[in-house]
Amino acid sequence: MLKLATLIFFLIPMILLSQELNCRVIINAQAIQSSDPSTISEMEVAFSEFLNNTKWTSDQFKVEERINCNIVLTLTDASDPALGQYQASVQVLSSRPVYNTNHETILLNFGDRDWAFEFVNSQPIIYNENSFIDNLSSLLSYYALVIIGLDYDSFGKLSGEPYFNLAWRVVTNAQNTGFIGWDQFNSIRNRYWLVENLLNAQMKPIREASYQYHLQGMDHFLENPEEARKTISESIQKVLKVNQARPRSILTISFLDAKTDELSKIFSKGDPSLRKRTYNMLVNIDATKRSDFAEMIK
């Protein structure tokens, strides 16, 4: 009986601990006439299991601490379904909870139109940080590491650095494979430039802004909303300064794509002068979002 109790004691931590990601994969195959529904379902399961069952960090996560994310693939072409060759556009979203609330704040809302991969039923997807295995494993691993890095940045200043470095390694391993999206030349808004920005010293104030926005701002919103608004507004000032030095960088665009709706709601109330000042900064960063922020100055 004592042995059984001891075994249960040691098993409980294992049961309560989990991997880092709680990722839902959704695949839209309506544009692929020859697609087999069972293959698409297996693809969703395989992608989800790879993302959620791979151990990406050395840290221990409780089940409730897993990072919520969604990866939505829209298959645009199946050049050779028999060989499992696909092309897709993808939307990647991740979020983290706001302390003492039921609200999830978006950390990443990123569109990637350059997915090309092979998928064969029952073929394992394997992550190797030191080498390129195939484009599918590289694509999924890259976004897993970026998602984790952004989450860590939101809880500790520049804490995501190790995971952005691993994502950069995925990029460099994939650069000479001929797959689009991994190099600096064909686009300024691709996977290369996103992680380049995340590791670029000139862009670090945006990552510092994420820590200030989330841990020092949003996580205190319930107890002191006006003070939280001031802190969040100060974080936008950091983003503005980066944008003045490097206008329309992918990291700045990505930050606002994730935060536009939330910022509009946050600053629809509170001190009018703070609302006006924050509105002016946001429009200065991206004038195309002027109408999205209009609620802030009504």
What's the pLDDT at 15? 45
Largest Cα–Cα distance of the chain, in whole Å?
A: 69
Q: Show the domain range for 62.
A: 14-199
Question: What digits encode the pLDDT tens for the residues 218-235?
Answer: 999 999 999 999 999 999
* 272 and 217 within one domain: yes
What's the pLDDT at 82? 67
Question: What digits encode the pLDDT tens for the residues 11-58?
Answer: 444 445 679 999 999 999 998 876 688 889 999 999 999 999 999 999
Q: Please, are residues 57 and 20 in contact by the beta-carbon 8 Å criterion? A: yes
* 213 and 98 within one domain: no
* 233 and 181 within one domain: no
Those residues of the chain that have pLDDT short of 70 are 1-17, 34-35, 80-82
* 280 and 170 within one domain: no
pTM for this model (two decimals) = 0.93
Of 79, 71, 92, 70, nearest to 31 by C-alpha is 79
* 219 and 134 within one domain: no
**Residue partners of 233: CB distance under 8 A and separation at least 6:** 267, 274, 277, 278, 281
User: Do the domain assignments include residue 70?
Assistant: yes
Number of domains composing the chain = 2
